[in-house]
């Protein structure tokens, strides 16, 4: 089980790296001038590759987390709260894919300021999840 726990942590850290960086690319995409096609295409390529790379890593993080839950039989309110936050992260990740499509089709209507705030969501979730897992407050 310790190997499983180690791989779960590795997958979670890797997934969060992608969740931190992908919206940051969106900030830059939202700031690209209309006449800068090369810069826009480069940022789109980067974001597509990153999204395709971290999607299976996120899936592995969720799968190993469920496996740990079944293996250890964790219980308590903290776990329900954590599970809810992880489900929210999955939705956030999928929404990032949708936002990527809006950029690719030239239909983005959001400002770089909105994406700066959007970029902070996984940071806050990580903070709360770490506290829930380590402290188990309820």
Q: What is the pLDDT of residues 99-127, one digit of tens each?
A: 999 999 999 999 999 999 999 999 999 99
Q: What is the pLDDT of residues 5-51, one digit of tens each?
A: 999 999 999 999 999 999 999 999 999 998 999 999 999 999 999 99
Q: What is the pLDDT of residues 44-73, one digit of tens each?
A: 999 999 999 999 999 999 999 999 998 887
Q: What is the pLDDT of residue 75?
A: 81
What 3 state SS string does the chain have? CHHHHHHHHHHHHHHHHHHHHHHHHHHHHHHCCCCCHHHHHHHHHHHHHHHHHHHHHHHHHHHHHHHHHHHHCCCCHHHHHHHHHHHHHHHHHHHHHHHHHHHHCCCCCCCHHHHHHHCCHHHHHHHHHHHHHHHCCC
């Amino acid at each position: 089980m310790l190997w499983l726990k180690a791989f779960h942590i590795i997958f979670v850290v890797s997934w969060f790296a992608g969740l931190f960086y992908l919206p940051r690319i969106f900030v830059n995409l939202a700031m690209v001038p209309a006449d800068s096609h090369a810069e826009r295409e480069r940022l789109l390529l980067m974001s597509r590759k990153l999204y395709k790379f971290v999607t299976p890593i996120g899936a592995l993080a969720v799968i190993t987390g469920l496996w740990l839950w079944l293996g250890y039989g964790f219980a308590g309110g903290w776990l329900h709260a954590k599970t809810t936050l992880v489900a929210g992260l999955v939705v956030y990740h999928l929404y990032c894919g949708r936002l990527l499509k809006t950029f690719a089709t030239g239909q983005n209507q959001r400002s770089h300021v909105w994406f700066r705030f959007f970029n902070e969501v996984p940071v806050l979730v990580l903070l709360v999840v770490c506290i829930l897992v380590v402290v188990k407050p309820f």
